[in-house]
A = this chain, B = another copy of it.
Amino acid sequence: METSSAPARLRALPSWLLNQAALPAQRLVSRAFGALGSHRHHYSVLSALDESGPASQADLGRRCGIDRSDMVALLNQLAADGLVARSPDPTDRRRNVVSITGRGRRRLRELDEQITRVQHELLAPLAPADRKRLVQMLTVLVDHHATHTPA
């Protein structure tokens, strides 16, 4: 793939650029996490639990942008690895209360290391100030479409 010779139309197209930039981002994260037997959604869930405490599956899904349906299999894996604990919610018997375990916190720290390293690799050609600006602008975009563009 030599997309530096891509059509001018595509190279000026934000939607195309976002996709093309998301691809190597995905690949880098997948490889780094795969070496630890984890996936990027694992990192999302563990982060949410670590930062905000125990939560229901539906809540985790909404906050992390993960489908309720995929969350089931995801938590099955995390629970099988002993990284989270799933127990029925006594105050609402529809729900499971998912909480992070000690092993989960340890894994999260390992993933933190990997993901930090990968971001450097991803943003290598950008100066620190540009990286900050990029994150700001992407945040504006993501927040806008989280509320204005239903799935």
Complex interface: chain B residues within 8 A of A119 (CB) = 13-15
Q: Which residues of A contact B (CB under 8 A)?
A: 1-29, 40, 43-44, 47-48, 50-52, 62-65, 112, 115, 118-119, 122-126, 130-131, 133-135, 137-149, 151
Chain B residue at minimum C-beta to C-beta distance from A115: B13
B19 touches A25 (CB 8 A): yes
Least Cβ–Cβ distance between A111 and chain B, in angstroms: 9
A-B contact pairs, 17 of them (CB 8 A): A1-B151, A3-B63, A3-B142, A3-B146, A5-B63, A7-B63, A10-B47, A13-B115, A15-B26, A17-B138, A17-B142, A18-B21, A18-B22, A24-B149, A123-B141, A125-B141, A134-B137
